[in-house]
């Protein structure tokens, strides 16, 4: 192992610095760990990778890399959509997927303490045994890890009513450098209490920082009581995607707050059905899928009101599902939309978010951009909170189509900004959104972000080039 590692790290001896750790130098394995799921995001060549199991191991790895000037790029399951976990040349990939223990579930205080490699759905299943619930549920929940969810402040279907990852992170442990001391220092941020304002909110600073400020090795999460009953499902079918957007805006305007309000266009629904054969029909141009978890007669009244909103907005039909299997199939289709589209060819995934009243205009802009550039764009969305995921599909090896897709990608970002929106709602900036972020944020704000990065990571050791990095390099 030492000879092989030395061949990949000329003049360095990380193997001697890190005895007993699972150092990886096999080129094929390194290649598989060097990128996430972001189509066309650049990936560099790492010199090695290591799979850590404890905070102490992460501390040793970070200290050794800092001493030798080797960048550290953390990764979990690699399900990201922005290139945030992609390698840079000469880096060490720090794989946290084996730090997958649920360290504590405290039913009395409704909290859980987990390592970053715990899979989102595995945590849900574990706390459900205690009649508790962890609400953040990205579509990647069966595969994505809590560490990755924290890194991007992931949200998902239930965020409309129950909030995003940041709302559930009470505290965390991170391996850092800079003012905390030597690189490799482990610090605890936040608390286990429901309230706490002792000092700056450094936990929120780390949530969504995409591994650029340090390596999160433990997370303390707020839980909620399990829901008393299965949610009601309301489905509306529309003859245009813009009409579905009008229904979303009307839902907000009337003060209705479903647990989830999701949109799928016809192309996504057909792709899922052709792949999984769930028995779904795709006769409308767009479907709105809503869930309401208010119990009893109040919940029924909300479901009735929401179905009427859909009809008033021009739905071909709007019905409440009385078939639990059918309702689950529809929401399963929503979660499977991206991988189903990816099977058909390379997909460049967007993640713009606009004010809910601007959803119809944003959907209209996406259609216009697709037509003008001659590209295929299928759309799914957390429509209730204005978070849209246009999926730009091309054929492999078609350079002209790729250029058109990239141009459409940048124009969609600009359109979201023009509507007082943001270039990323939950996927993170990573590599793909750096140019858009600079369009969205004022120079003074960018300078503040760069100052934070320089203060907490003066060596630019942690995930360099991401978020605040130069998009033209």
Task: Quote the tokens at residue 147.
Answer: 């560490």
User: Does 229-341 match 345-427 in CATH topology?
Assistant: yes
CATH of domain 2-95: 3.30.43.10
What is the residue extent of each domain of the chain? 2-95, 102-225, 229-341, 345-427
Helix (H) or strand (E) holding 171: strand 169-176
Helix (H) or strand (E) holding 434: helix 434-440
Give the CB-side neighbour count of residue 29, counting CA atoms within 13 A: 13
Check residue 416 and give its pLDDT: 98
Q: 352 falls in which pLDDT band (50, 70, 90)?
A: very high
* CA distances to 110, 277, 315 from 329, in Å: 31, 10, 21
Which region among 49-58, 88-97, 228-237, 299-308 has the lowest average model confidence (pLDDT)? 228-237
In the predicted structure, residue 6 carries a pLDDT above the cut 70: no
Q: Which of 333, 349, 339 is nearest to 269 (CA)?
A: 333
In the predicted structure, residue 87 carries a pLDDT above the cut 50: yes
In the predicted structure, residue 11 carries a pLDDT above the cut 50: no
pLDDT in tens, 372-392: 999 999 999 999 999 999 999
Please tell me the pTM assigned to this model.
0.93
Bridge partners, residue 387, by sequence? 353, 382
C-alpha of 207 from chain center: 12
In the predicted structure, residue 473 carries a pLDDT above the cut 70: no
Got the DSSP string for 312-367?
Answer: HTT-SEEEEE--HHHHHHHHHHHHTHHHHHHTTS-EEE--EE--GGGHHHHHHHHH
Bridge partners, residue 48, by sequence? 92
Give the CB-side neighbour count of residue 78, counting CA atoms within 13 A: 17
Query: Average pLDDT in the 16-30 region?
Result: 87
Check residue 5 and give its pLDDT: 44
Helix (H) or strand (E) holding 352: strand 352-353
Check residue 469 and give its pLDDT: 81
Check residue 18 and give its pLDDT: 86
Q: 218 falls in which pLDDT band (50, 70, 90)?
A: very high
Determine how many CB atoms are found less than 10 A away from the CB of residue 199. 7
Check residue 13 and give its pLDDT: 64
CATH of domain 229-341: 3.30.70.2190
What is the C-alpha to C-alpha distance for residues 76 and 51, in angstroms, rounded to an integer? 10
Check residue 468 and give its pLDDT: 86
**Residue 92 phi, psi (nearest 5):** -105, 125
Asked if 280 and 331 touch (Cβ cutoff 8 Å), the reply is: no
DSSP state of 454: H
CATH architecture of 102-225: 2-Layer Sandwich (3.30)
pLDDT in tens, 121-177: 999 999 999 999 999 999 899 999 999 999 999 998 999 999 999 999 999 999 999
Fold adopted by 345-427: Alpha-Beta Plaits (3.30.70)
In the predicted structure, residue 116 carries a pLDDT above the cut 50: yes
Check residue 211 and give its pLDDT: 97
pLDDT in tens, 304-329: 999 999 999 999 999 987 677 777 87
Which region among 197-201, 202-206, 394-398 has the lowest average model confidence (pLDDT)? 394-398
Bridge partners, residue 95, by sequence? 51, 75
In the predicted structure, residue 10 carries a pLDDT above the cut 50: no
Which region among 8-17, 348-357, 416-425, 427-436 has the lowest average model confidence (pLDDT)? 8-17
Is the backbone of residue 411 left (phi > 0), alpha (psi -120 to 50) or beta? alpha
């Amino acid at each position: 192992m030492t000879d092989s590692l030395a061949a990949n790290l000329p003049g360095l001896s990380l193997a001697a610095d890190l005895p007993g750790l699972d150092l990886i130098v096999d080129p094929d394995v390194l290649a598989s760990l060097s990128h996430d799921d972001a189509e066309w995001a650049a990936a560099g060549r790492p010199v090695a990778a290591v799979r850590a199991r404890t905070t102490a191991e992460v501390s040793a790895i970070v200290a050794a890399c800092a001493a030798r000037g080797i960048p550290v790029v953390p990764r979990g399951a690699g399900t990201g959509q922005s290139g945030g976990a992609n390698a840079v040349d000469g880096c060490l990939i720090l794989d946290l997927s084996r730090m997958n223990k649920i360290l504590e579930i405290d039913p009395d205080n409704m909290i859980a303490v987990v390592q970053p490699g715990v899979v989102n759905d595995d945590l849900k299943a574990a706390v459900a045994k205690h009649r508790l619930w962890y609400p953040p549920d990205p579509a990647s929940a069966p595969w994505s890890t809590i560490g990755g969810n924290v890194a991007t402040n992931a949200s998902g279907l239930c965020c409309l009513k129950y909030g995003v990852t940041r709302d559930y992170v009470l505290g965390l442990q991170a391996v850092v450098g800079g003012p905390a001391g030597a690189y490799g220092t482990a610090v605890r941020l936040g608390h286990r209490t429901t309230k706490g304002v002792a000092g700056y909110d450094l936990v929120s600073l780390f949530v969504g920082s995409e591994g650029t400020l340090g390596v999160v090795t433990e997370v303390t999460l707020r839980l909620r009581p399990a829901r008393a009953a299965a949610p009601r499902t309301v489905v509306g079918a529309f003859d245009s995607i813009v009409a579905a957007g009008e229904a979303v805006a009307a839902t907000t305007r009337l003060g209705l707050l479903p647990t989830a309000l999701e949109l799928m266009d016809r192309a996504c629904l057909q792709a899922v059905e052709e792949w999984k054969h769930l028995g779904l029909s795709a006769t409308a141009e767009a479907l709105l899928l809503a869930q309401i978890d208010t119990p009893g007669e109040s919940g029924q009244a909300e479901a009735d009101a929401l179905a009427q909103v859909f009809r008033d907005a021009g739905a071909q039909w709007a019905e409440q599902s009385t078939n639990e299997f059918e309702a689950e199939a529809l929401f399963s289709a929503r979660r499977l939309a991206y991988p189903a589209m990816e099977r058909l060819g390379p997909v460049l995934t967007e993640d713009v978010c606009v004010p809910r009243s601007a959803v119809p205009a944003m959907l209209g802009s996406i259609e216009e951009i697709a037509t003008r550039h001659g590209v295929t764009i299928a759309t799914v969305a957390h429509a209730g909170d204005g978070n849209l995921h246009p999926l730009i599909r091309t054929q492999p090896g078609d350079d002209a189509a790729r250029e058109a897709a990239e141009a459409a990608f940048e124009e969609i970002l600009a359109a979201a900004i023009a509507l007082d929106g943001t270039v990323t709602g939950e996927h993170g900036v990573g590599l793909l959104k750096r140019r858009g972020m600079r369009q969205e944020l004022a120079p003074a704000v960018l300078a503040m972000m760069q100052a934070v990065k320089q203060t907490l990571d003066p060596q630019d050791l942690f995930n360099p080039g991401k978020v605040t990095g130069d998009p033209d390099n």
